[in-house]
Amino acid sequence: MRNFINISDVDKKELRKIIDHAKLQKEKRSKLNKSAIDPHKPLADKTLIMIFEKPSTRTRLSFELAMKQLGGQLLVLSPKDSHYGSGEESIHDTAKILSQYGDIVMMRTHKHKHFLEFSNHLEIPIINGLTNLSHPCQIMSDIMTFEESKGSITNKKIAWVGDGNNIVYSLIEACVQFNFQLSIACPEKLRPDKKIIKWAKSKKAKILITKDPFEAAYLADCIMTDKWISMGDKGNKKKKKKLLKKYQVNKKIMKKAKPNAIFMHCLPANRGEEVTNEVINGKQSVVWSEALNRIHVQKSIIEWCLR
Ligand code: CP
Ligand code: NVA
């Protein structure tokens, strides 16, 4: 049984297959109507159950479209509607029930450890749709999007400017698995956990962590960022925003990168905070493709798990 929990859990060759299959899915879709069902219905007789403990627009809709376009079915559980969410049923019992009802689960949770506990009790594959620690499906879509505009990501330079959050964790894992250079600029207090950096270095990752956003952005092929306040962030928001003020991705930062560099953001964005309107709406921005590619990457991940 194959789960998709973290990018570091999956073999490099398998990750490459998932990306390449997603590219094929997109090509196939370009010849079909937006809402047409793939005539081969590769996911016919399969049901995806999605559980959301936090809000979502892209993850929810892209998984839903992925299932529908491939002829499958889906069920969605939000915390308000379920005994699990109200604390009236244990993770163990909920996992046992879902194992009987569906073929695969996608879950978005507050706590990564709850996700792992859930996956331990589940008898069908599970996909991580974001936890406090990682967002692997997003980074897979980002890799596909990068390669659409810049070719192979191997040895390219990606700069992260902003909060050291869950997206960066998956990006760090990806830099090891896909062998690209990663420069992270963030305030010292908001750096990703030392353990993940140590792990990446032990795998010979080409990784740099700095306080200086201009150093990170220098000659990068891509600049990435994310919201300064993530869902479920508990700390003092005002203080955090103050710390991150000089990490806004604006024209000055983009100028430090290669002239043809792209800008990426997983969305949702807070324009005027982590990124200016000028950059996110500008010619270098590929944020809409990132969101669109989520559909094709989800198809590929679901099919990989069910193989
Ligand atoms: N990028 C992303 O995962 O967006 P949602 O929170 O809307 O799912
Ligand atoms: N870091 C953000 C990503 C949202 C897709 C969050 O966890 O809220």
The sheet carrying 157-161 orders its strands as 207-210, 181-185, 157-161, 222-225, 262-265
118 and 157 fall within a common domain:
no
115 and 192 fall within a common domain:
no
Per-residue pLDDT, averaged over 21-26, amounts to 97
125 and 143 fall within a common domain:
no
135 is catalytic: yes
One-letter amino acid at 252 equals K
297 and 278 fall within a common domain:
no
Using alpha carbons, select from 168, 177, 121 the residue that is nearest to residue 265: 168
**What is the distance in A from the centroid of ligand 1 to the CA of 287?**
12
Q: Mutation test of ligand 2: which of 230, 273, 294 has the most ligand atoms closer than 8 Å to its C-beta?
A: 230
Q: Is 130 within a domain?
A: yes
Using alpha carbons, select from 129, 139, 80, 81 the residue that is nearest to residue 109: 129
Ligand 1 contact, 61 CB (< 6 A): no
* CB-based contact 300:18 (threshold 8 Å): yes
Q: Which residues pair with 263 in a beta bridge?
A: 223, 285
Ligand 1 contact, 232 CB (< 6 A): no
193 and 277 fall within a common domain:
yes
Kindly report the average pLDDT of the chain as a whole number.
97
What is the pTM for the complete model shown? Answer: 0.97
Ligand 1 contact, 59 CB (< 6 A): yes
137 is catalytic: no
191 is catalytic: no
Rg value, the chain, Cα: 19
- The tens digit of pLDDT for each residue in 120-146 reads 999 999 999 999 999 999 999 999 999
108 is catalytic: yes
282 and 150 fall within a common domain:
yes
Q: Is 2 within a domain?
A: no
Domain count, the chain: 2
- The tens digit of pLDDT for each residue in 246-277 reads 999 999 999 999 999 999 999 999 999 999 99
Domain that holds residue 49: 7-135+291-306
| Residue 266: CATH number of its domain | 3.40.50.1370
Q: Euclidean distance between the first and final Cα of the chain, in Å?
A: 9
Both tokens of residue 276? 């200016």
SS3 223: strand
- The tens digit of pLDDT for each residue in 171-182 reads 999 999 999 999
